[in-house]
Each structure stands twice: as C-alpha cells, then as structure tokens.
Amino acid sequence: MIEGRVKRISGPIIRAGGMGGAGLFDLVEVGEKRITGEIVRLERDEAVIQVYEDDTGMKIGAPVFSRGRPLSALLGPGLMGAIYDGIQRPLQVLYEKSGAFMDSGERGDPLDLSRKWHFVPDAGLAARIAAGEKVEAAPGLVLGTVKETGSLTCKIMVPPDSKGGPVAFLAAEGDYGVLEAAAGTGPGGEIPFAQWWPVRLPRPSAERLSPDQPLVTGERVIDVFFPLSKGGTAAIPGGFGTGKTMTQHAIAKWCDADVIIYIGCGERGNEMTDVLAEFPQLRDPRSGRSLMERTVLIANTSNMPVAAREVSIYTGVTLAEYYRDMGFHVAIMADSTSRWAEALRELSGRMEEMPAEEGFPAYLPTRLAEFYERAGRVRALCGEEGSVSIIGAVSPPGGDFSEPVTQHTKRFIRCFWALDRDLANARHYPAISWTDSYSEYAGEVKSWWERVNPRWAIVRQQSLDLLKREQRLAEIVRLIGPDALPDDQKVVLMIAEIIKDGFLQQNSFDEVDMYCVPAKQVRLLELIMEFHERCQTCIKLGAPLTKITGLGLREGLSRLKSTVRNDTPGGLDAFEARMRSAMEELERSYRTREVL
C-alpha cells in the first residue's frame, strides 16, 4: 500500500505528496478517519485527489493511503431494495450505526456479508462437470441462480474480467454468503458470489442490438408520440415545478423494465425523502409485490459532499449493467444531470482548470457522452438479451433550454421530452410539450407498434400535423377571435382540444387513467382522428358545427380514457359503433338535401 501526506486542501480537492507509485483513478483513504477519495490527476509524485466525504478538520500532513485499485462497486445478491449513497455506502446501515447525521469515515458493507443466499447450481453445468467434462470458465458462463427477491432471480456468472481456465468445482445447492466461492478455476482460483467492478469502466457485452423494442411506459404522450426504445436514451428538461421528478416516478412504476435504478443526484432532500417514503409503498403492477423488490435507490442529496454527486451516476449505471448482463431490461432514472454537471463545475474550479461555457469544464460533453453511451440493448456474454435505458432529468436555470447542459445532452440522446411551464401551470400532466419534444426512435419501433395496430404510424402523424395546424390557428384566434374562423378550421381547434384533454393528459390519481396499455392508446387516437375525418365530411356537405357538437360525441371521446378499462376494450368498440351511427345519420341527412 502506497502512503503519502496531505500537502494542500481546497474543499473536496486535496493534493498529496509521495504518491508517485499510485495510478490514475486509484481509490485512496485520506486522514485518520480514512475518508474515501479518488486520484483524478498525477503530477510527478503529487496526486490530486477528490474526496467523497466531508473533510472538515483535515490537516496538512495527514496520511493518504492508496488502495491500488480503482473506485469499484460490489455486485452480487442483495442489491435489490437497497438505498446507497454515491459511493455505494448503505445508508440504512449507516443510519442504524450513527443516526441521522453521518460522520465522515463511517463504513458499511455494500452487501450484507452475514446473510446467506440459497444457491441452485445450473443443472446442465453441474451434469457436465460430474461427467468429467472439461468446462472452460468463460466470461458470462452461468453457474447457477439465487432468488434475490420475490420478483427477481439473480444469475451467478463468471465475471467479464475472468482469466478463464477450466471449472475445477461448482458449489452444491445450499446457503452461502456473498464472499464464499460459487465455483473454482484451476489451482486456488475462486469465483465468489459477489465481485468488485470499477464504476468508470463499462462492462463488456457480446453484441449490440438494434433499439427496435419500445420501453412501454403507459404514458400516452410518450409511447405514441415520442417513444423510447429499450436501450435508448432520453432527457426530460424543464424548469422548477414542471414535473420532471413526477414523470420519472410514473415511468419507474409503470414501465415494462425488469429493474429500476433511481439516482437522486444533487436533488433537494425533501424530494429524495418523498422517493424513499413512497417507493416502498408502491405496488408493482405486474407482480402485486413491493416495487422496491426490483428497485435500487442511490440517494445523493444537495447537502451531501459534492464529489460523491459526481460519481453517483457511474455507480448507478454500473449496477444497471450488472443486471443487464443477466438478461434483464433495466431503466435508469437520473435526477438530475444538471446537479451532476454543477458538481463537475465546482470540482473543476477547485482544481484551477480553464472554464468553458458558463463556467462548466471543457470536458463536460465528454463526460455526458461517457454516461449516455453506456445505454444500449445488447446480447450479453451469457447469451441473453438485456438492455439499459437511461432517462436523465435536466434542470436548466429559469427553464432556458439553450444553456450548456441541455444543449450538450441533446447531442447524445435521441429522445427529448421537453416540459412546458404553461402546461404545468394549467395542471396538464404530463406537461410534455408536443411542439418542442421529439423522438428519433419512432422509425425503429414502428414495426413493433404496427403489430399492435397497423394504423399506429398513420394516426400518430395525422394527430401531430393537426396539433401543428392548431398552433398556427391559435395565433390567428388571438388576433381576430374564434368566431371569424370558418367551420372547417373550428373543427381543427375542437379536435386538437380533444387530443389534449382526452389523449395527452393523464390523471395519475385515476385508477383507470394512470396507466394505458398500448392497444388502448392507439385505439383512442384512432377514434379521435376518425371523428375528425367524419366532421370534415359533414362540414363539406353543409352541416353547421353546432349540429356536430350537439351529438355529444366530443365529450364522450374526452372521457373514454377514464371510462374504458384496459382489460375491457369492448367499450371502445361500443363507442365507435355509436359514433359511426350518429355521424352517418348526419351525413345522410345533408346528402339528401344536396340531392334535392
């Protein structure tokens, strides 16, 4: 172990001498309390260290110890349901040890070392070894399984950095601790149930796959208008109070990912408290069990050391890749990357680096790219298909989307859900703007959606075009009033209102409307656009708009989202029959007048 001495202290940045033998990004322990840090720069025998804990009271000359390995996360059974800080310290364990105010240098094992897990070896592998066959311990080889929670079964595999060699032994079925050996390779080599992995190093996969499977969220404005693929990247930018966290909560609860990693990066303590209080109470809609059984929370609030905020997103994506490698689809909620970028800015200033736009470091785009590029849908080393989808919230000051973090984020993501303050103030949830948002995954998920409903792409484009027309007409209405418009343009305004109220807006407190299955989403939009076509036909035949509105179909369309349950789609067919009957009757009456 290399030992040096503190020479200079500047907040969370420490310079230490005598560290010439250490490596870049090595994990270090500083001072008598052994607070955790990481070497971020080496200058001859001096190391520049960023510490991840409060270093108040640190003195010049304090000892510095290099651990000789990079900052790493311990990956194994027991992660699910845990609450960590940015460097994977278990907050619940530390709370029980030191109370609400955690002292620097407090330690807790990331996984419960005393707990025993029931291991079931892979039957095929066990049979091959028993028969005397030479089995190579290739990276990704599945050794067996552990039932981690009632909702999740964890695969125990040969780690990706394994040097290989034949499997010498395989643990029998039974109960084991996470540091015990699941298998052995060669003379003295062991593969434990849990392994360390550097958080800044992406875990390898066998093959990257096309992102042609949507991540279904149950939010209509997302799934139909601006879809996100499994393995895709999305950003939710918006000013204070526009609903970034609320939207991420809804996605975390309802999306069809197998595992949720929620990173509270620099957010206010009360917001993170809400997450910690609400998530254990939420029911997983697929299993009926607690949502925490497939969720990991990383809590790094704004009053915690700023350097730990910087590393928290790497810890989160490393945990996500671990479950991806088992063949699970993982969704990461990073709330918010703006606070993470502010941590980069503060640390960069402490290291006296040359600032770029608005004081952010010049390497901000590189760091954003490193994070978002770890998303993807892959063929894992074990042969299973898995994915990591990243949804990052961005908090631009004053809701200004031209600021550097938002602009650089747009370079590396393909799905942009812009939150609108006017919609949020009007209590339109989710407040995703249909004019400023976009998704580049729509073409790739088109074939999946057309298996749900062949008209998905058609009605999606028709409705987006209609909303653009409504925006132009709204400007005219503000100048001359709605009465000056002809009826065919008034119909556009009416249908746009139905789309906004009856399709885009969702009530998270309504048992029916809080989640919408894909088939119902497209059918709702299909009915609205069919009503639009029939209205225009009637207008061309000479029917006044008042005749159409008098049929009561407008109100019925707006209420379908909450009156027709996901499991009883027959209600949509019944409304369609009633709508067609009423509109065809109106058409016939005016066709008859036209003939006469």
CATH of the domain at 157: 2.40.50.100
Task: In whole angstroms, give the CA distance from residue 84 to residue 335.
Answer: 15
Q: What is the mean predicted confidence (pLDDT) over 451-478?
A: 94
Give pLDDT, residue 593.
67
Closest CA to 86 of 327, 261, 254: 261
- CATH code of 561's domain: 1.10.1140.10
Q: How many residues does the chain have?
A: 596
Q: What is the mean predicted confidence (pLDDT) over 436-455?
A: 96
Q: Is residue 498 domain-shared with residue 561, that is, in the same domain? A: yes
Q: Are 95 and 83 in contact (CB under 8 A)?
A: no
Domain-terminating residue out of 193, 222, 257:
193
- Helix, strand or coil for residue 149? strand
Task: In whole angstroms, give the CA distance from residue 251 to residue 80.
Answer: 18
- CATH code of 16's domain: 2.40.30.20
Q: Is residue 247 domain-shared with residue 374, that is, in the same domain? A: yes
Give pLDDT, residue 596.
47
Q: Considering the domain boundaries, does residue 105 fall inside one?
A: no
Q: Is residue 143 domain-shared with residue 24, that is, in the same domain? A: no
Q: Is residue 214 domain-shared with residue 173, that is, in the same domain? A: no
Average pLDDT over the chain, rounded to an integer: 91
Q: Is residue 284 domain-shared with residue 383, that is, in the same domain? A: yes
H or E segment at 368?
helix 364-372
Task: In whole angstroms, give the CA distance from residue 397 to residue 358.
Answer: 12
Q: Considering the domain boundaries, does residue 544 fall inside one?
A: yes
Give the dihedral sign, CA 191/196/198/203.
Answer: positive
H or E segment at 142?
strand 142-149
Q: Is residue 281 domain-shared with residue 381, that is, in the same domain? A: yes
Question: Who's near 221: CB < 8 A, 6+ residues apart?
Answer: 430, 432, 434, 503, 504, 506
CA 502 to chain centre: 27
For the chain, what is the domain count? 4
Closest CA to 322 of 287, 373, 374: 374
Q: Considering the domain boundaries, does residue 431 fall inside one?
A: yes
Classify 225 in phi/psi space as left (phi over 0), alpha (psi -120 to 50) or beta. alpha
Task: In whole angstroms, give the CA distance from residue 241 to residue 244.
Answer: 8
Domain residues for the domain of 7 are 2-70
Give pLDDT, residue 175.
96
Q: Considering the domain boundaries, does residue 315 fall inside one?
A: yes
Q: Are 391 and 228 in contact (CB under 8 A)?
A: yes
Q: Which residues of 298-330 are buried (b: 16+ CB within 10 A; e: fewer)?
A: bbbbbebbbbbbbbbbbbbbbbbbbbbbbbbbb
Domain-terminating residue out of 167, 193, 219:
193
Q: Is residue 381 domain-shared with residue 235, that is, in the same domain? A: yes
Domain-terminating residue out of 441, 471, 489:
441
Q: Is residue 149 domain-shared with residue 180, that is, in the same domain? A: yes
Q: Is residue 435 domain-shared with residue 289, that is, in the same domain? A: yes
Q: Considering the domain boundaries, does residue 327 fall inside one?
A: yes
Q: What is the mean predicted confidence (pLDDT) over 371-385?
A: 96
* Residue-wise pLDDT tens digits, 218-247: 999 999 999 999 999 999 999 888 989 889
Give pLDDT, residue 238.
92
Q: Considering the domain boundaries, does residue 449 fall inside one?
A: no
Q: Is residue 180 domain-shared with residue 309, that is, in the same domain? A: no
Q: Is residue 182 domain-shared with residue 225, that is, in the same domain? A: no
> Does 535 or 594 have the greater pLDDT score?
535
Q: Are 193 and 179 in contact (CB under 8 A)?
A: yes
Q: What is the mean predicted confidence (pLDDT) over 341-347?
A: 91
Q: Torsion angle, CA of 95/96/100/103, rounded to 10 degrees? A: -70
Helix %, strand %, coil % for the chain, to 5? 40, 25, 35
State the burial class of residue 207 (Cβ atoms within 10 Å of its Cβ: 0-12, 13-18, 19+): exposed
Task: In whole angstroms, give the CA distance from residue 394 to residue 455.
Answer: 34
> CA angle, corner 521, sides to 256 and 566, nearest 5?
70
Q: Where are the alpha helices (DSSP H) in 397-543?
A: 404-412, 421-425, 442-452, 456-480, 487-499, 518-540
* Residue-wise pLDDT tens digits, 283-338: 777 777 788 889 999 988 777 788 888 899 999 999 999 999 999 999 999 988 99
Give pLDDT, residue 509.
86
Q: Considering the domain boundaries, does residue 154 fall inside one?
A: yes
DSSP state of 102: P
Per-residue CA distances from 454 to 225, 512, 519 (Å) = 15, 25, 11
Would the pLDDT of 594 be above 60?
no
Amino acid letter, 180: E
Question: Who's near 56: CB < 8 A, 6+ residues apart?
Answer: 104
The first and second tokens of residue 288, run together, are 């009926």
Q: Is residue 212 domain-shared with residue 168, that is, in the same domain? A: no
Q: Considering the domain boundaries, does residue 564 fall inside one?
A: yes
Q: Are 488 and 539 in contact (CB under 8 A)?
A: yes
Predicted confidence band of residue 44 (pLDDT cuts 50, 70, 90): confident
- Considering only 43-47, 476-480, 495-499, which range has the smallest mean pLDDT? 476-480
